[in-house]
Amino acid sequence: MIRRLLPGPGTADGGEELEEAYHHPAPQHLRLNFVASLDGAIEIDGRSGPLGGPADKQAFRAMRAVADVVLVASGTAVRERYGPVILDDPARARRLARQQSARPALAVVSGQGRLDRGARMFTGPDRVLVLTTSQVVSTRTDLGEVADLIDCGDGEVDLRRVVAELRERGLGRILCEGGPFLARGLMRAGLVDELCLTVSPLVAGVGRQTLAEIWVGPPVPLRLEAVLEADGMLLTRYATEER
């Protein structure tokens, strides 16, 4: 059972209740979602799966179900062997009732554009958006056969342009699923509205990539907005301060 601790005690079980908990009223909103151990590890042997549990997976699905687009860096998409975003029928019906498309789009940020066009992520019914540089757009015509290549900068990817390009396509509710390099860029550019952090009741030990990698600079205060709990796992939602 998933218990709601904040705001107000209750439960948040099942897809619909969780989607209500994660639906954000603003049409333009960027949410960053991570799962970490108590000592901040965000991967175990290169994957985030061992850090999560059933409740975290339910919340992950609910966040996808309310997003217009799932944004992910190429590093994570490759390491985590991303596939097309799949939702069950009830979640799709709820999206249509909210005037959203049946599925969120999948958008991958890549500076080098060295994505394998045969990768699983390109096998879905919707074309993946690859947000990259003008150089990649002009040279990777083979990748352009399986994905929409979007020019987001000359020489390097400008993350402000990434967000603007998504918004221009009506993809305002952005769920960023990492990884740490992309998260740091978004944080640095002041583009993150919310950090959803699942704290796993686990100490992972040294030698892991940690959540500390998502920020370089003076401490940034965040405001706690919501906490769910299941099986000793805390699912938190923090808002960044108005900028």
Ligand X SMILES: NC(=O)c1ccc[n+]([C@@H]2O[C@H](COP(=O)([O-])OP(=O)(O)OC[C@H]3O[C@@H](n4cnc5c(N)ncnc54)[C@H](OP(=O)(O)O)[C@@H]3O)[C@@H](O)[C@H]2O)c1
Tell me the closest approach of the beta carbon of residue 173 to ligand X, in angstroms: 19
Tell me the closest approach of the beta carbon of residue 234 to ligand X, in angstroms: 14
Scan residues 153-212 and list those touching ligand X (CB under 6 A): 157, 159, 177-182, 185, 209
Tell me the closest approach of the beta carbon of residue 237 to ligand X, in angstroms: 14
Tokens of 143: 């990748």
Tokens of 102: 């049946």
Using CA atoms, how far residue 118 sits from 4, 46, 74, 90, 103, in Å, is 42, 21, 14, 30, 22
User: Is position 240 an interface residue for ligand X (rule: CB under 6 A)?
Assistant: no
Tell me the closest approach of the beta carbon of residue 99 to ligand X, in angstroms: 29
Positive or negative, the Cα torsion across 158, 162, 79, 203? positive
- Taking the least distance from each CB to ligand X, the nearer of 15 and 75 is 75
- Taking the least distance from each CB to ligand X, the nearer of 63 and 94 is 63
Tell me the closest approach of the beta carbon of residue 182 to ligand X, in angstroms: 4
Identity at 240, one-letter amino acid code? T
User: Is position 101 an interface residue for ligand X (rule: CB under 6 A)?
Assistant: no
User: Is position 79 an interface residue for ligand X (rule: CB under 6 A)?
Assistant: yes
Nearest CA among 95, 70, 98, 96 for reference residue 84? 70
Tell me the closest approach of the beta carbon of residue 13 to ligand X, in angstroms: 22
Residue carrying the six token digits 């029928």: 89
Task: Report the alpha-carbon distance of residue 170 to residue 164 in Å, rounded.
Answer: 10
Q: Which stretch binds ligand X (CB under 6 A): 16-24, 103-111, 163-171, 223-231?
A: 103-111
Contacting residue, 46, 90, 170, 201, with ligand X by CB under 6 A: 46
Q: Closest CB to ligand X belongs to which residue?
A: 75
- Residues whose CB falls within 8 Å of the CB of residue 60, separated by 6 or more in sequence, listed in order: 33, 52
Nearest CA among 163, 161, 155, 164 for reference residue 133? 155
Task: Report the alpha-carbon distance of residue 24 to residue 9 in Å, rounded.
Answer: 20
- Taking the least distance from each CB to ligand X, the nearer of 12 and 157 is 157
Residues that bind ligand X (CB under 6 A): 34-36, 42-43, 46-48, 51, 73-76, 79-80, 109-112, 114, 157, 159, 177-182, 185, 209
